[in-house]
Amino acid sequence: MTIIILINVAILLALMVFLRYLNKKHVKFSNRVFAALGLGILLGLALQLIFGATSDVVTKTVPWYNIIGTGYVKLLQMIAMPLVFISILAAFTKMKLGKNLGKIAGLILVILIGTTAISAGVGIFSATIFDLDATQLVQGDAEIERGTSLEEQSAGVKSLPEQIIELFPANPFLDLTGARSTSTIAVVIFAAFLGFSYLRIVRKDEATSKTINKAIDAIYSLVMGVVTIVLRLTPYGILAIMARTVATSDFGAIYNLGKFVIASYIALLIVFLIHLIIISLTGLSPIMYVKKASETLLFAFTSRSSAGTLPLNLKTQEERLGVPDGIANFAGSFGLSIGQNGCAGVYPAMLAIMIAPTVGINPLDIGFIATVIVVVAISSFGVAGVGGGATFAAIIVLSALDLPVALAGVLISVEPLIDMGRTALNVSGSMTAGVTTARIMGDLDKDIYSDPRMKELGES
């Protein structure tokens, strides 16, 4: 390690010590998170301006920053599956789902898939207004290589029936490791089966059911303890992630593809406003939603991982928005692989409209637009909630529409920047589904939702 890299690492450590100092001074958790965001941006800009995004110094500094940033995301992913599993199971023992399980799950799916279809429409609108056309994009060596890789991946795309079959947990112990893109939903299904089994035991053997109940409560407390410990590391994780992201961003490529970046973020913003409209239609304050969800959306934005954001997502729904844990877990878990508004809705629809002219298709044809929206909505099943989910969704949609997949590779240079906004929108979509479902079912604790005071996500 050279002296310059050592200095860069030392600066990061010094900023972490400062964040620790703020914690000892009892600065609010939310303020420490936003402080970490600002400090991370400043550190990343300094590295970018002094050394350059592709310099040897930055390239060798980033792996050290990843120990904190990527390490934090991995810790969140570590607890995601146990949290989903035990929370769904605990919801049965507390009888919070009852006979409405089918209705709750169905309503969540309708909202997730419905908003994804709307997101596709918004993506089409934005791409049309900005006159995005893939024939105008210039491809370099990296883009051509990425396009070739996408073509190879498209050869292995499964049909819709095969994707649905992938949702079932043939080996629940494998799925608890998160080995498959559909592992989260598979774990939900497995936990639900155990929950129904518990309800049968309650009717037949009360003594055994009480023992099971105590065991589940004990494991639930243990897992939530781990969640609390990991969430307390959030400011440090955001600091390192943001510094790395800004330091390695290709601002030249962002400038050259600026119109696509702007069009993407306008589409994402419009869909987010639609989320707020949906919430307001249930009689709830959209402003309160923004206030209470902002920290979680900020982390989703910086981490680019819906799966890594899951623990924050669930705690926000339950402790700040008043959503029962069973509904929150179904919405959060389903939202990882189904109906991701940003990655599986806006993005593939925009690509389809951009690429259509290259093969002689009129992107404004009503029949083509309708086909794109339907294909996007159906194809949103099984999109993994980790980096690369949007690429997978784009491959499925473009392949289904018989459009050249390789042209999507031209956007490789701005992919990280846009993926930040897409991930935040994905998480907002799942939280919107949870809040709306709880409100419709009459299970939302409106006192918690409306209370301007917020329990800190890092508290026990």
- In tens, the pLDDT along 63-111 reads 999 999 999 888 888 888 888 888 888 878 765 555 677 788 889 999 9
* Separation of alpha carbons 416 and 379, rounded Å: 22
CB 436 within 8 A of CB 279: yes
Structure tokens at 135: 């024939």
- Indicate the burial class of 276 (C-beta count within 10 angstroms; 0-12, 13-18, 19 or more): middle
* Separation of alpha carbons 209 and 201, rounded Å: 6
pTM: 0.80
Q: How many CB atoms lie within 10 A of CB 453?
A: 6
pLDDT higher than 50, residue 146:
no
Class of the 3-450 domain? mainly alpha
Q: Report residue 306's pLDDT band, with 50, 70 and 90 as the boundaries.
A: confident
* Cα–Cα nearest to 316, from 339, 334, 332, 333: 332
pLDDT higher than 80, residue 406:
no
* Separation of alpha carbons 346 and 367, rounded Å: 18
What pLDDT digit, counting tens, does each position of 2-40 carry? 899 999 999 999 999 999 999 999 888 878 888 998 999
Tokens 């639900």 — which residue? Answer: 192
Domain boundaries, the chain: 3-450
Average pLDDT over residues 438-458: 86
* Separation of alpha carbons 434 and 44, rounded Å: 35
When mean pLDDT is compared across 4-18, 96-110, 156-170, 190-204, the lowest value belongs to 156-170
The mean predicted confidence, pLDDT, of the chain is 84
Average pLDDT over residues 155-170: 69
Q: Report residue 158's pLDDT band, with 50, 70 and 90 as the boundaries.
A: low
Q: Which residues of 150-179 are buried (b: 16+ CB within 10 A; e: fewer)?
A: bbebbeebeeeeebeebbebeebeebbebe
Q: How many CB atoms lie within 10 A of CB 14?
A: 9
Average pLDDT over residues 34-54: 91
Question: Given this model, what pLDDT does residue 78 score?
Answer: 86
Question: Given this model, what pLDDT does residue 43 score?
Answer: 95
pLDDT higher than 90, residue 120:
yes
Question: Given this model, what pLDDT does residue 383 score?
Answer: 60
